[in-house]
Amino acid sequence: MKLFYSPGSCALGIHVLLEEIGKPYELQKVNLATREQYAPEYVAINPKSKVPALQRDDGSILTEWPAIASWLALTNPEKSLLATDPESFARTLEAVDYVAASLHMQGFTRIWRPEHFATNEAEHPAVKAKGQDIVDKGLKSFDAVLAKQDYVGGSKMSIADAALFYLEYWVAERLKQQLPANCAKHYARMRARPAVQKVLTDEGLA
């Protein structure tokens, strides 16, 4: 397998899952700062021009965070990264979708790319504030869940924790904001995992 990623991007969560699984994989850095995602070479791999993208052993490419994470979990059931009972399965996907579709795309995109939501620069502060509200609301929701358990799905790490981790990383390390108490404990718990430590080192984020 080969993961196409950019250091510290949402691909961080997929990188963590690959390391947790422990099977051989390669890394291919995509430089978003130089817009390499739009270069013909990468567009041929992922026409969506974003990361992550996962090249599987048969050469096929899988894109979109929830799809990649779910496929990795389902093809490595011994790692228990995705619950099999209907309720826990649904709750895990619910958490993943909330991170990826709402907190990331609706929250952080407003904070980092306000021009995507308003062409008038005078409106950008309000757009960013709305994005921050979305992120804060989401963290409050996860904080309540984590008040009762170590991981999003209970006592074991799942793909939902890998999703929340990349979001927590953005809040703590990029925005330099304080995480809610239980999210902060979750973030520290994740960072203490050997797989996560290796990923942060490999991406130059340690």
182-200 pLDDT, tens per residue?
Answer: 999 999 999 999 999 999 9
Q: How far is CA 198 from the centre of its chain?
A: 16
Do residues 43 and 4 make contact, with C-beta atoms less than 8 angstroms apart? no
- HSE, side-chain direction, 13 A CA sphere, residue 52: 29
What local confidence, expressed as pLDDT, does residue 8 receive? 97
Question: CATH 3.40.30.10 region(s) of the chain?
Answer: 2-79
**Dihedral sign from CA coordinates of 192, 196, 201, 206:** negative
**Integer Cα distance of 155 and 86 in angstroms:** 17
Question: CATH 1.20.1050.10 region(s) of the chain?
Answer: 86-193
Options 3.20.20.80, 3.40.50.1820, 3.40.30.10, 1.10.10.10; CATH of 2-79: 3.40.30.10
Mean pLDDT over 12-17 rounds to 98
pLDDT tens digit sequence for 96-122: 999 999 999 999 999 999 999 999 999
What local confidence, expressed as pLDDT, does residue 123 receive? 98
The residue behind tokens 């520290």 is 188
User: Taking the model in full, what pTM does it have?
Assistant: 0.96
pLDDT tens digit sequence for 28-78: 999 999 999 999 999 999 999 999 999 999 999 999 999 999 999 999 999
Structure tokens at 96: 């993943």
Structure tokens at 135: 């992120």
What local confidence, expressed as pLDDT, does residue 159 receive? 98
The set of residues, in sequence order, having a beta carbon less than 8 Å from that of 155 and lying 6+ positions away, is: 149
pLDDT tens digit sequence for 126-181: 999 999 999 999 999 999 999 999 999 999 999 999 999 999 999 999 999 999 99
What local confidence, expressed as pLDDT, does residue 179 receive? 98
**Integer Cα distance of 33 and 46 in angstroms:** 17
What local confidence, expressed as pLDDT, does residue 186 receive? 98
- Over the Cα atoms of the chain, what is R_g? 17
What local confidence, expressed as pLDDT, does residue 20 receive? 98
Q: Considering the domain 86-193 in this protein, what is its CATH number? A: 1.20.1050.10
Residue 93 pLDDT grade (very low, low, confident, very high; cuts 50, 70, 90): very high
* Type of residue found at 54: L
Angle between helices 181-191 and 194-202 (to 10 degrees): 80
